[in-house]
Amino acid sequence: MSDPAEKFLTAVERSQIEARIAEAERRTSGEIVVMVVPSSYHYPLASMIGSSLLAVLLGMAVARVAGQDSMWFFLEIFGLSFIVLHELIKRVNTLKRLFVKASDMKEEVEEAAIQSFYHRNINLTVDHTGILIYISLFERHVRVIADQGINAKVDRDVWQEIVGIIVRGIKSKGQVAAIGAAVDRCAAILAAHFPLKPDDRNELGNEVIIGRGR
């Protein structure tokens, strides 16, 4: 099965964004990391709830059409339907999303983004000036996390502006340009407080990270 994150940004498009990051970081001592994951969590409960509910409804419908009032007949239809529907919902994101609460998706993205921030050592830059732009495709959420050195000088509400740039771009199928614009905006914010230093070095690299979530 192809990786949705790989399809979301082709190798050429990732190279374009990486060049944009390199250019942006010539203006600031800060570090910008872009990460795209297919999903922040696999939501096993969604497949269970969805397949159970639909299997009950299907079992009842088939029993009624067949004129069967036997519990055993219903259970046989239910069991077969549950197995098929469980596998289908598990694999088809459009169906799975119907059985996941928006609040749960937001919580999982938040947790996964924070984990990625620390797992990727974005918190370990010399002046604590790293930024993670985290894009989770299944949940259709974007999270921007800035390290403590930045948050000491920049209002945290400004990161919602970056989120908005990317979300609007994705909706219009212009994710490459939108991510590039978001990177430029992050650089402008960083440069105002953390200009490039004579001894600056690239601490985190510029590669777009294609992750796997949790």
Whether 50 and 36 share a structural domain: no
Whether 31 and 51 share a structural domain: no
Q: Look up the CATH number of the domain holding residue 133.
A: 3.10.310.50
pLDDT digits (tens, 9 = 90+) for 101-138: 999 999 999 999 999 999 999 999 999 999 999 999 99
For the chain, the average pLDDT equals 93
How would residue 160 be classed by pLDDT, with cut points 50, 70 and 90? very high
Whether 15 and 116 share a structural domain: yes
pLDDT of 214: 56
CA angle 136, 140, 144 (to 5 degrees): 55
Give the total number of structural domains in the chain: 2
94, 104 in Cβ contact below 8 A? no
Region 60-84: what's the mean pLDDT? Answer: 92
Whether 184 and 155 share a structural domain: yes
How would residue 213 be classed by pLDDT, with cut points 50, 70 and 90? low
Which residue type does 182 have? A
Whether 110 and 138 share a structural domain: yes
Whether 57 and 155 share a structural domain: no
pLDDT of 200: 83
182: closest CA among 24, 26, 28, 27?
24
Query: Would you tell me how many other CB atoms lie within 10 Å of the CB of residue 120?
Result: 18
Whether 183 and 109 share a structural domain: yes
**56 pLDDT exceeds 90?**
yes
pLDDT digits (tens, 9 = 90+) for 141-155: 999 999 999 999 998
Final residue in a domain of this structure, among 82, 97, 112: 97
Q: Under 8 Å CB-to-CB from 46, ≥6 apart: which residues?
A: 89, 96, 97, 99, 100
Q: Which domain holds residue 84?
A: 44-97
Whether 109 and 168 share a structural domain: yes
Whether 27 and 60 share a structural domain: no
Residue tagged 């299944």 (tokens): 138
pLDDT of 2: 62
Q: What is the largest CA-CA distance in the chain?
A: 82
**1 pLDDT exceeds 90?**
no
Burial call 168-203: b when 16+ CB within 10 Å, e when fewer? ebbeeeebbbbbbbbbbbbbebbbeebeeeeebeeb
Asked whether the whole model's pTM tops 0.75, one would answer yes
How would residue 4 be classed by pLDDT, with cut points 50, 70 and 90? confident
Percent of all residues in the chain with a pLDDT value above 90, rounded to a whole number:
86
Whether 70 and 108 share a structural domain: no
Whether 72 and 128 share a structural domain: no
Region 172-181: what's the mean pLDDT? Answer: 95
Burial call 39-55: b when 16+ CB within 10 Å, e when fewer? bbbebeebbeebbbebb
Whether 92 and 113 share a structural domain: no
Range with lowest mean pLDDT among 20-34, 92-106, 190-204: 190-204
**66 pLDDT exceeds 70?**
yes
